[in-house]
Amino acid sequence: MKPGKVVLLVGILAAGATIETADRIRARVDVGPFGWVALGGRFQGAAFTYEATEKKDVPAGTRAAVENGFGTVDVRPGAPGVIEVKLRKVVFMPKEAKAREFADRLVVRSELAGGVLRVTTNRAELEREVEPIGPFRFGSIGFETHLSVRVPPGTEVEVKNEHGIVDVAEVASARIESSYDDVKLRDVAGTANVSVSHGDATIDKITGELQISARYGDVTLADASAGVKINQAHGDVTTARTGRLSLETQYGDLSSEDVRGDLQVRGEHSAVTASRIQGGADVETSYDDVKLTDVGADARVKVEHGGATLSGIKGAATAETSYNDVDIEQVGGAVTASVAHGSVRASRIAAGARVKADGDDILLDGFRGPVEAEAQRGSVRLVPDGPLVGSLSARATYGDVQLQVPPGSRFELQATTDSGSLDVTLPGLTTSESSETRLVGRLGEGGSLVQLSASHGDVRISPRSEVANR
């Protein structure tokens, strides 16, 4: 056999194998309306549109359950006692006569049972039936079914759609499942449950409890007055004016304003920015930063590979981070901060602090109450807000410890250093023991113990005014 023939034979067989494989993959992989089915030709080319309307009288309190496969679904309030379904049929066929013949067979199916009117179409039957049509048609006909449903005011609604936007407004309650397109929901008087796999969810004015499950898409939410629970995989979440908010997310950021309750976030690879939280905040995330502003109760933040910024916390503030810094400002309760490979900067602390930093400095500027500060490979600088009367303990292994003492302070002092120097300039200090590495004394009438120690650094104590003038 000639080499040319062998090459041609191998080429034909390879092409055949490729075609077989591609067609099998196409049959198994569902990638949405703009994926393989569109490339296969079902939803392109000439198309004809037809409409049909069906009305059904229903008893008061009947729920509506709408199911669609490929097309939009919108639900709005209509006349009392009647559910009206308008079906818009788009048929992708080259000849109008054939398209009309096909569209005539495409109808609305509605069934009232158990207080629920189930609305759908017979598209599933036609999808099965039309494959194949005739000897030269090996694929199926592409057609879209768009459903506009008018329900009595105050109806509870369920919608399930595969490919197409779901738009529901002004209903008593809503349960929505969407696979490959966006969901819009607004003005729900009761509870709402939204599940969207590949698409964005835009939700507005929900009075009852709200649950959202989203896999690939953003969630935008406003005015959900009751509790909100969101489970998000890949996408950002933006909320405004919600009740209690609970979020679980993997790859997406949270931006939240006006949470009228507690905020709880469990994130991975997520930045969290939240402000005006009436309740407490409990945030855990990784690989990005957290910023909380104006929290009405306690705030707790844990971040791996990210920093935390907390300001305006009415209760206690707890921050645990790694590989980035903690910044805390204006806290009504106690501050607890622990940072691995980062610094802690805190100011305007009303009820004391326990702070630990590994790899960078600690600065507490304007604090009241007892303080414990420990810096590994960093310095500690402490500036009390008023007279220092509470207990204070500050230790640095490879860095300095610096304390600025305001007028009116009174305490028992113990200052030590292993290999640095002691620089204590404090008028009114009565010294009972003094050496190059250790100083014990009393300021004023004495009181709580102030312990300052630096293993490989200096300890400096000075009046606050003096330091301020330097």
Partner 1 sequence: MAARRFKPEGVALGAGLLGLGVLATLANLGYVDLLPSMRLTWPFVLVIWGVAELYNTFSAGRS
Largest Cα span, the chain: 111
Q: Which amino acid is at 154?
A: G
- Answer for which of 10, 31, 34, 46 binds partner 1 (CB under 8 A) is 46
Stretch that binds partner 1, among 8-16, 230-238, 267-275, 374-382 (CB under 8 A): 8-16
Tell me how far, at minimum, the Cβ of 41 lies from partner 1, in Å.
5
26 belongs to the binding site for partner 1 (CB under 8 A) = yes
Closest CA to 267 of 232, 298, 300, 228: 232
Q: How far apart are CA 347 and CA 371, in angstroms?
A: 13
Contact at 8 Å (CB) between 235 and 253? no
Number of helices and strands in the chain (H, E): 5, 41
102 belongs to the binding site for partner 1 (CB under 8 A) = no
20 belongs to the binding site for partner 1 (CB under 8 A) = yes
29 belongs to the binding site for partner 1 (CB under 8 A) = no
Q: How far apart are CA 428 and CA 35, in angstroms?
A: 81
- Whichever of 93 and 151 has its CB closer to partner 1, that residue is 93
Q: What is the dihedral of CA 131, 132, 137, 143, to 10 degrees?
A: -20
Contact at 8 Å (CB) between 428 and 390? no
Q: Which amino acid is at 34?
A: F
19 belongs to the binding site for partner 1 (CB under 8 A) = yes
Residues 382-421 interacting with partner 1 (rule: CB under 8 A): none
Q: How far apart are CA 434 and CA 218, in angstroms?
A: 65
Tell me how far, at minimum, the Cβ of 142 lies from partner 1, in Å.
9
In the shown chain, the binding pattern of residues 65 to 94 toward partner 1, with x for contact by CB under 8 A and - for none, equals: ---------------------------xxx
Q: How far apart are CA 186 and CA 166, in angstroms?
A: 11
137 belongs to the binding site for partner 1 (CB under 8 A) = yes
- Answer for which of 10, 22, 31, 82 binds partner 1 (CB under 8 A) is 22
Stretch that binds partner 1, among 132-140, 402-410, 414-422, 456-464 (CB under 8 A): 132-140
128 belongs to the binding site for partner 1 (CB under 8 A) = no
- Answer for which of 35, 80, 81, 139 binds partner 1 (CB under 8 A) is 139
136 belongs to the binding site for partner 1 (CB under 8 A) = yes
Alpha helices in 40-144 (DSSP H): 96-104, 123-129
Stretch that binds partner 1, among 20-28, 100-108, 228-236, 366-374 (CB under 8 A): 20-28
What one-character DSSP code corresponds to residue 306? B
- Whichever of 104 and 131 has its CB closer to partner 1, that residue is 131
Q: Is 370 helix (H, G, I), strand (E, B) or coil?
A: coil
| The two three-digit tokens of residue 168, written as one number | 């529901």
Q: How far apart are CA 1 and CA 14, in angstroms?
A: 19
Residue 5's alpha-carbon distances to 8, 13, 16, 18, in angstroms, are: 5, 12, 16, 20
Tell me how far, at minimum, the Cβ of 291 lies from partner 1, in Å.
51
- Answer for which of 32, 33, 38, 40 binds partner 1 (CB under 8 A) is 40
Q: How far apart are CA 451 and CA 454, in angstroms?
A: 10
User: Could you tell me how many residues of this chain bind partner 1 (CB under 8 A)?
Assistant: 25
- Whichever of 140 and 416 has its CB closer to partner 1, that residue is 140
Cα 184–chain centre separation: 19
Tell me how far, at minimum, the Cβ of 24 lies from partner 1, in Å.
9
138 belongs to the binding site for partner 1 (CB under 8 A) = yes
Stretch that binds partner 1, among 19-27, 336-344, 403-411, 459-467 (CB under 8 A): 19-27
33 belongs to the binding site for partner 1 (CB under 8 A) = no
The label of the residue with tokens 């007055």 reads 225
Q: Which residues make up the interface to partner 1 (CB under 8 A)?
A: 4-5, 8-9, 12, 15-16, 19-20, 22-23, 26, 40-42, 45-46, 92-94, 136-140
